[in-house]
Amino acid sequence: MPAGVNETARLDAIRSLDLESSADRALFSRLTLLASTMLDCPVALLSIVEDDRQWFLGRTGFDFPEPLRDISLCAACIGAQQPLLVPDARSDHRFCDNALVTGAPFVRSYISVPIRGEEGLILGTLSAISPEPDAFCEDQIPPLAMLAELAEQSIALHVRTRDLSRANAALQQTSQVFRQAERATNVGSWRVDIASRQLFWSDQVYAITGLKPGHSVSVPDAVALYEHEDQAMVAAALEATIVEGRPFSFATSIRRPDGQSRRIRVQGERIDVGGRPDSVAGIILDCTEEHLRNAALKRAAEHDRLTGLFNRASFDRRLAAAMRNADREPVMVALLDLDGFKDVNDTLGHLVGDRVLGAIAAHLHQRIRSGMFLARWGGDEFALLFPPEMPHDEAIAFLEQLLGELDDVVAMGSTALVIGATCGVARMNRSGSGEEIMRRADLALYRGKEEGRGSVVCWNAQIEARQSERQRAIARLRAALNDGRAVAAYQPIVELETGRIVSLEALLRLKGEDGGLITASEIFSALLDPEMSRRVSRVMLDQVVADGPAILALLGPETRIGLNLSEADLRKNDFVRHLIEVVDDSALTPANFTIEVTETMLLDAGGQLRASLAMLDNCGFTICLDDFGSGFSSLTHLRAFPIHKVKIDRDFIAAIDTDHQSRLIIQAIVQMGHSLGLRVVVEGVETEAQEVFLRSIGCQHVQGYRYGHPALMEELQERLGPFAAPLRLSA
């Protein structure tokens, strides 16, 4: 440490503040988010640098382990005791060999200002990081220093609050800087004097509640602002804190005088002075926008946007729960497919088709009985889960009556529309998968289509015997695997800002006997067979490993290759170990791989599947959640599984021209992903208009026909040539 820095006093000051165990990191993370937004960079950190390590009081966009002090760039700023600007760390002799520069997060540009305690000692830094060189300039140091002052004031407020709780003092009138911080974060503070029961609010609490600052508010007045059903809970929580000293924290809603509802989080704790209760103090956070955004995401993820019914992901979850108890309570499902709907779309257009679907969905929703669960399964199909106590014959009679009513449901002016439906029914009385019972219902449905539309057909052994398509697909796939005709085709994932190909997704293709290529969708039913799925995964792994050196030569050593794995792969520990061993023995590293999994695989993930994902993550493979947004449990999966990358379901980008909600959902997911440090890819991008929209919301990575169709390795080499890595991809 350079002369002039009293390191012992500095470290003593850090320890005396006790920030790591008691500070509100969410507040400081909002300051780093503000710094990241203001400087237009992906990473901002509020760091505390101790004698052997650097840890984060607040962070945005940085999910890597906390570094040791000897590789900390922030330590250089502390040593200099002044702001530090590094235009390009790779060309700076001080940092060019630093592990944070040569490896993740690949720091190029760095800017930081010191954070000081009240005694003037430097505690840490407020810094910003960019993977691009020359991202910052000298003019950005003053505004960053202003944010650092806010952080210093917040630390000082933390210290004063802690000291006041020990030394019989009340919360003081916040400074102008702190009021600015309150407004920036929409957090207000409050205090109740226990002896007088007098309530004190900061200005921001008045702003949150919609009352004029300075207006006298009593505790009963404040409790009356809460929704009626929550008022007793709020009063009881405050009283329990006063009497028993129990801290409280809850989220609820208030009703402002203008009638507007606001969602808030409230925290409070008792302050004792001289061993006696003195006051209760806490904060109120206005989280209305976050609450509305999450509610909209949940609604959009659980319900079909067109019909308002539950969507397929919601049905899958409900069905999976029912199938786990099928040994005790038989499960019966119906799959209903509209007859003649394609003709409506083809002759009258999709807008009329959407109105037809909406009308039929409304009728079905009105007709279902208590205990039934109705969802739009996809396209013009609807799924129905019956209550276990409903007799089979009664369910069939209900469905037959329902189908008979559909002709009278749709009326489009003077146009006569004939819309009927065919229904397939399956029933199981033993535990199994939701996929299996729906497969049986689907077989029964298409048997009904063959026999004559408008009927209700129940699955039976004879229908199963007729099911030959899957077997033909399996035979077709098995022959291709045995003959070595299964190959990998690669579709690029492009970085929008530079046009560079940063990743490829490996997709299965079969070479037909006529020389043509067969896509995976053409033999998809065969891939549902676990044995075939595992064989395909091994072949694809071998192909990617063989093509890997050529891909890295084309696109650079940091290129990732996406490999789709099935549930069968992840539930077999030997395959995961085989994958790791094959990669270890190859020219590739785990960092070159993205393992793509789907939400349905995670809906009922057991211990082995979780262990497999954890093993891959620990080895350095990137886990990607495909088709993100198609189910609300996707949000839960981000927390429950080691997900570092998401692909937004192609249905959202396809609908942005006609569905404004799809635009909002894409934007929300992109912003959420960036805030969580996730890489976000939008799939299915095909038009310039879609690209323009994605650029406008800050989307960084895209995939779709606009940037390239899946291509075999030879075609990829011809298309890109030996100098593709630095070139911009032509749209």
Q: Is the pLDDT of residue 722 over 70?
A: no
Q: What is the pLDDT of residue 17?
A: 84
In-domain check, residue 181: no
Position of tokens 């308002």?
308
Q: What is the pLDDT of residue 80?
A: 86
656 shares a domain with 513: yes
30 shares a domain with 141: yes
Q: Is the pLDDT of residue 607 over 80?
A: no
Prior bond of 710 cis (ω within 30°): no
- β-strand 679-682 against 701-703: which pairing, if any? parallel
The one-character DSSP state at 505 is E
In-domain check, residue 83: yes
313 shares a domain with 275: no
- For 180-189, 258-267, 311-320, 359-368, which range has the lowest pLDDT when averaged over its residues? 180-189
Q: What is the 3-state secondary structure (H, E, C) of 72-119?
A: CHHHHHHHHCCCEEECCHHHCCCCCCCHHHHCCCCCCEEEEEEEECCC
Residues 7-66: tens digit of each pLDDT: 888 888 888 888 877 667 888 889 999 999 999 999 999 998 888 888 888 999 988 888
Of residues 22 and 433, the one with the higher pLDDT is: 433
Beta pairing partners, 188: 284
Nearest CA to 147 out of 120, 177, 121 is that of 177
194 shares a domain with 154: no
State which of 105, 130, 162 marks the end of a domain: 162
Q: Which backbone phi and psi does 648 adopt, to 5 degrees?
A: -75, 130
What is d(CA 303, CA 407) in angstroms, rounded to the nearest whole number? 25
520 shares a domain with 644: yes
What is d(CA 6, CA 15) in angstroms, rounded to the nearest whole number? 15
Would you say 245 and 239 are in contact if contact means Cβ atoms under 8 Å apart? no
For 513, other C-beta atoms within 10 Å of its C-beta total: 10
Q: What is the pLDDT of residue 15?
A: 86
In-domain check, residue 729: no
In-domain check, residue 464: no
Q: Is the pLDDT of residue 418 over 80?
A: no
In-domain check, residue 725: no
CATH number for position 261: 3.30.450.20
Mean pLDDT for 338-364 is 81
What is d(CA 635, CA 592) in angstroms, rounded to the nearest whole number? 26
What is d(CA 528, CA 436) in angstroms, rounded to the nearest whole number? 10
Q: If DSSP codes are grouped into helix, strand and coil, which group holds residue 149? A: helix
CATH number for position 150: 3.30.450.40
The one-character DSSP state at 310 is B
Q: If DSSP codes are grouped into helix, strand and coil, which group holds residue 698? A: coil
Mean pLDDT for 532-561 is 94
What is d(CA 62, CA 49) in angstroms, rounded to the nearest whole number? 16
First to last CA, the chain: 52
**Which of 14-28, 153-167, 390-404: highest mean pLDDT?**
390-404
CATH number for position 613: 3.20.20.450
Give the confidence band of 684 by pLDDT, cuts at 50, 70, 90: very high
- For 155-159, 506-510, 712-716, which range has the lowest pLDDT when averaged over its residues? 155-159
Q: Is the pLDDT of residue 651 over 90?
A: no
650 shares a domain with 557: yes
Q: What is the pLDDT of residue 315?
A: 92
Of residues 216 and 579, the one with the higher pLDDT is: 579
Sign of CA dihedral 299, 304, 305, 309: negative
Give the confidence band of 174 by pLDDT, cuts at 50, 70, 90: very low
What is d(CA 201, CA 217) in angstroms, rounded to the nearest whole number? 9
Sign of CA dihedral 683, 686, 688, 690: negative
What amino acid occupies position 482? N
197 shares a domain with 136: no
658 shares a domain with 525: yes
Q: Which residue range forms the structural domain that includes residue 122?
A: 7-162
**Which of 129-138, 627-636, 651-660, 720-729: highest mean pLDDT?**
129-138
Residues 261-284: tens digit of each pLDDT: 899 899 999 999 888 899 999 888
Alpha helices in 167-210 (DSSP H): 176-185, 203-209
220 shares a domain with 130: no
- β-strand 43-49 against 122-130: which pairing, if any? antiparallel
DSSP strands (E only) in 287-357: 331-339
Mean pLDDT for 625-638 is 70
Mean model confidence pLDDT for the chain: 85
Q: What is the pLDDT of residue 412?
A: 61
379 shares a domain with 233: no
Give the confidence band of 139 by pLDDT, cuts at 50, 70, 90: very high
Q: What is the 3-state secondary structure (H, E, C) of 628-685?
A: ECCCCHHHHHHHHCCCCEEEECHHHHHCCCCCHHHHHHHHHHHHHHHHCCCEEEECCC
Beta pairing partners, 252: 264
Helix (H) or strand (E) holding 375: strand 373-378
Give the confidence band of 158 by pLDDT, cuts at 50, 70, 90: confident
CATH number for position 414: 3.30.70.270
451 shares a domain with 316: yes
In-domain check, residue 61: yes
Domain count, the chain: 4
Helix (H) or strand (E) holding 277: strand 276-286
233 shares a domain with 339: no
Q: Is the pLDDT of residue 1 over 80?
A: no
State which of 267, 291, 315 marks the end of a domain: 291
Q: What is the pLDDT of residue 415?
A: 61
In-domain check, residue 171: no
Of residues 186 and 351, the one with the higher pLDDT is: 351
In-domain check, residue 297: no
What is d(CA 190, CA 285) in angstroms, rounded to the nearest whole number? 11
Give the confidence band of 508 by pLDDT, cuts at 50, 70, 90: very high
Q: C-alpha distances in angstroms, 711 versus 166, 504, 520, 722?
A: 69, 10, 14, 16
State which of 291, 324, 345 marks the end of a domain: 291
Give the confidence band of 343 by pLDDT, cuts at 50, 70, 90: low
Structure tokens that stand for 539 in this block:
């072949």
